[in-house]
Amino acid sequence: MAQPAPDTAPAPAPRHIAIIMDGNGRWAKLRSRPRTFGHAEGVEALRRTVEAAGDLGVEYLTVFGFSTENWRRPIEEVNALFDLLRLYVARDLDRLVREGVRVRIIGERNGLQADIASIINDAEARTRHNDKLNLIIAFNYGGQDELARAARRAAEDAVAGKIAPADINPDTFAKYLDTADMPPPDLLIRTSGELRLSNFMLWQAAYTELVFVDVLWPDFNKDALQSAIAEYHRRERRFGGSDPAKP
């Protein structure tokens, strides 16, 4: 009979962790600096978190970088957020390629500036064969937008006779989502104390364990990630059943 693992053995990391990286603006305000300073520090927290997730054996890390609703912010701030994506890819892509990280971007690509579209395509193409950690960046992403785009494509396939409307069910519909070939998140972390999803992964988070932490995103680090994982392990996942069980 297998021996139980000793108490000291760290529990395995969840397979898929999603993070709403929130609180950059408040972090900057506390320091009397512009919001964009907080966003730049947020990129440092992202670097730390990607490394920590790889160390901990996470398979999928999804981060919310820019929402379809973030266009409501002043144009200078929107431009700064796009610049940070450019900078992150320019500075980190070679290292991500070397370290076996596969980069994918989810969200609406139509309407993005041409250079952003080519940066995204290049990052995905250059890391396509990597398999250590999947880093999924939600950029120009909104859960409602993703669902509407998926519904539109399913309707187009139905009109074209490729599928029958009766074939649409949760399993077949999920294949039209941006996350088609990814498992749903096991754990979703939101920083900065806000208790909402803000249009993130509305379909995929159906049975995700939600962990809200007060730490502002630029202060997030491996310790904070590990304590969120520890909280996840204190939860009992049921998936609608009456006993703790796997789906």
List residues near ligand IPE by CB under 6 A: 20-26, 35, 64-67, 70, 81, 192, 194, 196, 198, 217
User: Nearest residue by C-beta to ligand IPE?
Assistant: 25
> To 5 degrees, how large is the angle CA 84–CA 99–CA 24?
30
Measured from the CB atom, the residue of 22 and 209 that comes closer to ligand IPE is 22
Q: What is the DSSP string of 114-162?
A: HHHHHHHHHHHHHTTT--SEEEEEEEEE-HHHHHHHHHHHHHHHHHTTS
- Residue type present at position 103: V
Question: Which residue in this structure is represented by tokens 């900065």?
Answer: 192
Binders of Mg ion: how many residues, by CB under 5 A? 1
Instruction: Write down the catalytic residue from 55, 70, 131, 186.
Output: 70
Instruction: Write down the catalytic residue from 22, 92, 178, 186.
Output: 22
Measured from the CB atom, the residue of 65 and 185 that comes closer to ligand IPE is 65
Give min distance, CB of 29 to ligand IPE, in A.
Answer: 7
User: Nearest residue by C-beta to Mg ion?
Assistant: 22
Q: Residues 119, 89: contact at Cβ < 8 Å?
A: yes
Binding partner of residue 198 among ligand IPE, Mg ion, none, CB cut-off 5 to 8 Å per kind = ligand IPE
**Can you say whether the dihedral through the CA atoms of 63, 185, 15, 221 is positive or negative?**
positive
Binding partner of residue 91 among ligand IPE, Mg ion, none, CB cut-off 5 to 8 Å per kind = none
Give min distance, CB of 177 to Mg ion, in A.
Answer: 24
Q: Residues 18, 196: contact at Cβ < 8 Å?
A: no
22 is a contact residue toward Mg ion (CB under 5 A): yes
Measured from the CB atom, the residue of 22 and 178 that comes closer to ligand IPE is 22
Q: What is the DSSP string of 151-204?
A: HHHHHHHHHTTSS-GGG-SHHHHHTTSTTTTSPPPSEEEE-TT--S-TTSSTTG
Say whether 70 is catalytic. Answer: yes
The residues near 185 (Cβ < 8 Å, ≥ 6 apart) are: 14, 16, 17, 18, 60, 62, 201, 204, 205, 208
Give min distance, CB of 108 to ligand IPE, in A.
Answer: 14
Give min distance, CB of 217 to ligand IPE, in A.
Answer: 6
Measured from the CB atom, the residue of 46 and 123 that comes closer to ligand IPE is 46
Give min distance, CB of 24 to ligand IPE, in A.
Answer: 4
Binding partner of residue 237 among Mg ion, ligand IPE, none, CB cut-off 5 to 8 Å per kind = none
Binding partner of residue 130 among Mg ion, ligand IPE, none, CB cut-off 5 to 8 Å per kind = none
Q: Residues 65, 106: contact at Cβ < 8 Å?
A: no
Say whether 22 is catalytic. Answer: yes
- Distances in Å between the Cα of 241 and the Cα atoms of 16, 174, 188 are 21, 22, 21
Residues that bind Mg ion (CB under 5 A): 22
Residues annotated as catalytic (active site), given as ranges: 22, 70
